[in-house]
Amino acid sequence: MGSSVLYSYRRCPYAMRARMALAYSGIAVEIREISLRKKPASFLAISPKATVPVLQSDGLVIEQSYDIMKWALAKSDPDQWLSAETESLIDEWVAKNDGPFKKLLDQYKYPDKCPDIQLEETLSQAVALYLGPINERLKANPYLLGPKISLADIAIFPFVRQFAMVDPDWIDQAGLNFLKQWLNAHLESSLFLSVMQKYPTWHDPTPE
């Protein structure tokens, strides 16, 4: 395989999950940490939609984090994070995460941008729609789909992490103990820690 490049942003949850899948699959990739305020021309040239992560590999460009994860797992999935039997269920969890839950997360993180929305309402919707059902599932099993880790856990926990970081006491107050345990296990995992190392900001080489 030729060289692969991932345009990334360390704290972006979409980029985190892509980096984790690539690392898990053992795919060598050059991580280019970019500035979201001053995006490099080489990145905009391959992906005018201009969101991270974007993977470039052998002439292929993948512009969606979940697609990057699946691409990586199709190459190597030693612990079977994804299978024909689990795929549609995982897709459902991820769609719920990337759609309605991400919307609530943004409302919660940036309340100034949504002045009409009440904080309590956002929190209760997030619990009813998403965090509560996850907590219920985790009562019986350590992972979302059962006794084994799957792509769903990895695709979702960076977003739950962001939610929990807004107010570190809230998760306890809300009684989401199983969710908290699951989140902490992922945050302490060597996989997560390995993709959170810091890189200097990438700049395109200046033409001679």
Ligand X SMILES: N[C@@H](CCC(=O)N[C@@H](CS)C(=O)NCC(=O)O)C(=O)O
What one-letter code names the amino acid at 182?
A: W
Contact segment (CB under 6 A) with ligand X among 58-66, 117-125, 155-163, 186-194 equals 58-66
Q: How many residues bind ligand X (CB under 6 A)?
A: 11
Which of 56, 57, 65, 162 is in the footprint of ligand X by CB under 6 A? Answer: 65
Give yes or no for a contact between 36 and 52, defined as CB atoms under 8 angstroms apart: yes
Residue placing its CB nearer to ligand X in the complex, 16 or 183:
16
Does residue 64 bind ligand X (CB under 6 A)? yes
DSSP letter for 146, please.
B
Q: Considering only CA atoms, which of 108, 124, 101, 97 is closest in space to residue 166?
A: 108
Contact segment (CB under 6 A) with ligand X among 24-32, 44-52, 119-127, 129-137 equals 44-52
Q: Compute how many other C-beta atoms are within 10 angstroms of the C-beta atom of residue 99.
A: 9
Give yes or no for a contact between 28 and 58, defined as CB atoms under 8 angstroms apart: no
Residue placing its CB nearer to ligand X in the complex, 65 or 122:
65
Which of 51, 86, 124, 189 is in the footprint of ligand X by CB under 6 A? Answer: 51
Residue placing its CB nearer to ligand X in the complex, 177 or 201:
201
Which of 5, 12, 23, 171 is in the footprint of ligand X by CB under 6 A? Answer: 12
Rounded Cα distance between 90 and 105, Å, is 20
DSSP letter for 204, please.
P
Q: Is the peptide bond before 53 cis (omega within 30 degrees of 0)?
A: yes
Does residue 52 bind ligand X (CB under 6 A)? yes
Q: Compute how many other C-beta atoms are within 10 angstroms of the C-beta atom of residue 31.
A: 19
DSSP letter for 98, please.
I
Does residue 14 bind ligand X (CB under 6 A)? yes
Residue placing its CB nearer to ligand X in the complex, 25 or 65:
65
Residue placing its CB nearer to ligand X in the complex, 53 or 71:
53
Q: Which tokens hold the place of 69?
A: 């994860």
Q: How far is the CB of 181 from ligand X (least distance, A)?
A: 26
Residue placing its CB nearer to ligand X in the complex, 13 or 135:
13
Does residue 36 bind ligand X (CB under 6 A)? yes
Within 18-147, strands assigned E span: 30-33, 54-57, 60-62
Q: How far is the CB of 70 from ligand X (least distance, A)?
A: 12
Distances (CA, A) of 202 to 4, 32, 40, 85, 153: 15, 5, 8, 40, 30
Binding site for ligand X (CB under 6 A): 9, 12, 14, 36, 50-53, 64-66
